[in-house]
Amino acid sequence: MAFSPSLNSIVAGEDNMRQLFLNAVLPICWLFASIWAQGEGAIRPKFTLAREQEILICQKCHSNPDIYGFDVRGRKRIVFVDEKAFRQSIHGKLRCTDCHDDIDPTQLPHPRHTQKVECQKCHLERKLPKAPEFKITIFKSYADSVHGEAVARSDPDAPRCADCHGHHNILPAKDIRYQVNRRNIPQTCSKCHSDAQLVEWHQIPKGETLFYYERSVHGQLLSKGVTEGTESAKGKPPAVCTDCHGIHGIRPATDPNAKVARPNLPQTCSQCHEQIFKEWRQSIHGQAWAKGIKEAPVCTDCHGEHMIRSPEDPTSLVHLQHIVATCSKCHENERLQRRLGLPTLRLATYRTSFHGIMNRYGVTEVAHCASCHSAHNILPSKDPQSPIHPNNLPKTCGNCHPGIGKGVAFGKVHFAGMRQENTLYWLIRFLYQLLITGLVGYFSIYIALDIHNYLKGRPSHAVSPHQTHDLLSHEYVERFTLNERLQHLLLVISFTLLVISGLPVSYAEASWVKRIFSFPGSIEVRGIIHRVGAVMLMVLAVWHIIYLLTPRGREQLSHLRWTKKDFADILQMLKCYLGLSDEKPKFGRFNWIEKLEYYAVVWGTTVMILTGLALWFESQALVYLPLWVWHIARLIHGYEALLAFLTIIIWHLYHVHFKPGVFPMSWVWLTGKISLRHLQEEHPLEFEKLREQMGLKRSSDEK
């Protein structure tokens, strides 16, 4: 035991002497080798160096961080080798010449351009027996890849093993510092694919892929360190470049064998999204794909490629706000419609529906394509499993409209209103269009003739302007009671609210509507205003019915009854306009224009309330009504509103406020009183009756 320490000391001394010898002799050898190499034909002695000696000699130059060389394109390339990183790499126990076998460290300086390192010499040809043997398929797949083909063409920019795996700093794949660790793969690939000069030189498609990927749902999950996947890809880490494009056997998308070739995309995505793939495979899209129909939509058609976003992301192609536009890329393509027999007018009918109008202006709660057809398992309406099969429609629509009736199945959801779809609907629309056009034309001509007669001094509906010397202009009588004025005021307010909140829905494409709906919260406010106006109109209807039961109401209604004299008055006014008569007809308490407006209001209010309730409470309405009747109710509601609006602004405003002698406004609707002069001119029969009651003198004209 006493001998051991002495022996250890001797061995340690010999090791120190050996290290000292190497440190002294090697630089001298390296200096002589450099001098002898100056002559072109000089004979260079060769001898074998130990591993540490070899590394030390190489580091004499390559330990300089500023050392660089040039590639075949003349571009500067740093050739610095971090010795510490090399020793920590999985190749840290190798010699330099194990990989750079065309360089002799005893014959320096080595040639300016050295050979590329060939990894297969060790990992396939077993140059080093201890090197892990890779399967030949790795090298074959690389050789057949777009990268391997570039190498075969002697493309100097072609990526080789070291470009992806690293040069002197290769680490185990699980090491997060490693270039091809999952978390680093996007940055590794982007070294080439985000190089603008290289992308342009080689015409590589999809430049800036890293920029888009980092903003995608995959890139965001990767940056957060998510490893267990999400609901749509349970247990799967976020996809990186190699998951979709492959590892070594990367092929261009135009190659039928590429993982990202269009026919192979669903199976590529199914590596993570298995359940979604199963659903899609059973859908009408998946069935078309299985039949080889190349236009069948695959994952990227809906979700995009590198910039795939979560459906909750407002910029996603499948976000609630954009999914209609995404589906329309195919379903509104005329070529596909003709070739595949796709139904037409799907987008047009959706955009004109309440769902489509609200969706267009940012309301995400309304139904869109996937709400009814589902997202991936889309089936034709004839399939009993389809959510849009007639038997399933109440349940599907009931997701948003609880308790909706079975009537929703009796009619087309994408309803265009063509004659072939529903003759009654088409006929009602045609009659309304004819009625509105005819009435507006009649109103315009009648008013033009009235103004013309006024200018010519002939009989018209004009009245005398207020004159200070005219005593009858200063005498007023009650025409409308406070009750009647309040009813009229409520009608004005409700009508105005309904018009300003209802017309934007009927004419949603108009530029003025787009400006209105561009304000935050305008959509929600519109709905509130419309319902408030509707409630006010219904309150007015009840109020007026009660009013008609009073003595005053019955009296007014008796004067509003239509008689033969009213038709005669219309004819007489037309004779005056045509120059066939100079005698203006004499009107009673209400002329034919006022009677027409009253019954128009009664009719319009009744129709608007009934159709409005059907639209407001559609779930309850469809318990009793089929969907096609509901469509008719919506049609009538819109046209009746337009008719009322045009009648008010053209006909009513002229005869009450804008006609000569009254313009710019009659105060009767506010004060309830009319001057005796205007009563005499507008309602002479009522004036005569009143004069008799009041005992007025017949010489009133002389006053």
Positive or negative: CA dihedral 650, 655, 656, 658: positive
Q: What is the pLDDT of residue 394?
A: 94
Domains and CATH numbers, the chain: 17-115 (no CATH), 445-701 (1.20.950.20)
The answer on pLDDT for 699 being more than 80 is no
**Which pLDDT band holds residue 18 (cuts at 50, 70, 90)?**
very low
Sequence-separated (6 or more) residues with CB below 8 Å from residue 495: 533, 537, 644, 648
The answer on pLDDT for 495 being more than 60 is yes
Sequence-separated (6 or more) residues with CB below 8 Å from residue 483: 547, 552
Neighbour-count burial for 170-189, b at 16+ CB within 10 Å, e otherwise: bbeeeeeebbbbbbbbbebb
What is the C-alpha separation between 116 and 699, in angstroms, rounded? 124
Q: Give the rounded percent of residues in the chain with a pLDDT score beyond 90.
A: 64
Q: What is the pLDDT of residue 296?
A: 94
Alpha-carbon distances, residue 14 vs 3, 423, 679, 699 (angstroms): 17, 111, 137, 151
What is the C-alpha separation between 6 and 2, in angstroms, rounded? 8
- Average pLDDT rounded to a whole number, residues 289-295: 93
**Which pLDDT band holds residue 14 (cuts at 50, 70, 90)?**
very low
- Average pLDDT rounded to a whole number, residues 460-469: 89
Positive or negative: CA dihedral 71, 76, 77, 78: positive
Residue 631 CA neighbour count, 13 Å, CB half: 26
> What digits encode the pLDDT tens for the residues 20-65?
444 555 445 544 444 444 444 444 555 678 888 888 989 999 999 9
What is the C-alpha separation between 525 and 395, in angstroms, rounded? 30
The answer on pLDDT for 9 being more than 60 is no
- Average pLDDT rounded to a whole number, residues 112-121: 81
The answer on pLDDT for 297 being more than 60 is yes
> What digits encode the pLDDT tens for the residues 141-192?
888 899 999 989 988 888 988 889 988 988 988 888 899 999 999 999 998 8
- Average pLDDT rounded to a whole number, residues 633-655: 96
406 within 8 A of 398, measured Cβ to Cβ = no
Q: What is the pLDDT of residue 351?
A: 93
Is residue 345 classed as helix, strand or coil in its secondary structure? coil
For residue 417, how far is the Cα from the chain centroid? 26
- Average pLDDT rounded to a whole number, residues 87-108: 87
Q: What is the pLDDT of residue 43?
A: 47
Question: Which of 109-118, 387-396, 466-475, 613-622 comes out lowest in average pLDDT?
Answer: 109-118
> What digits encode the pLDDT tens for the residues 388-424?
999 999 999 999 999 999 999 999 999 999 999 999 9
The answer on pLDDT for 13 being more than 60 is no
The answer on pLDDT for 618 being more than 80 is yes
The answer on pLDDT for 310 being more than 80 is yes
Q: Which two tokens stand for residue 306?
A: 């590198």
Q: What is the pLDDT of residue 46?
A: 55
The answer on pLDDT for 216 being more than 50 is yes
- Average pLDDT rounded to a whole number, residues 474-493: 95
The answer on pLDDT for 427 being more than 90 is yes
Residue at 697: amino acid letter: K
Q: What is the pLDDT of residue 30?
A: 47
Q: pTM of the prediction? A: 0.78
Give me the residue label for tokens 């990992």.
123
Q: Which two tokens stand for residue 661?
A: 């002698």
Q: What is the pLDDT of residue 703?
A: 46
Query: What's the full length of the chain, in residues?
Result: 703
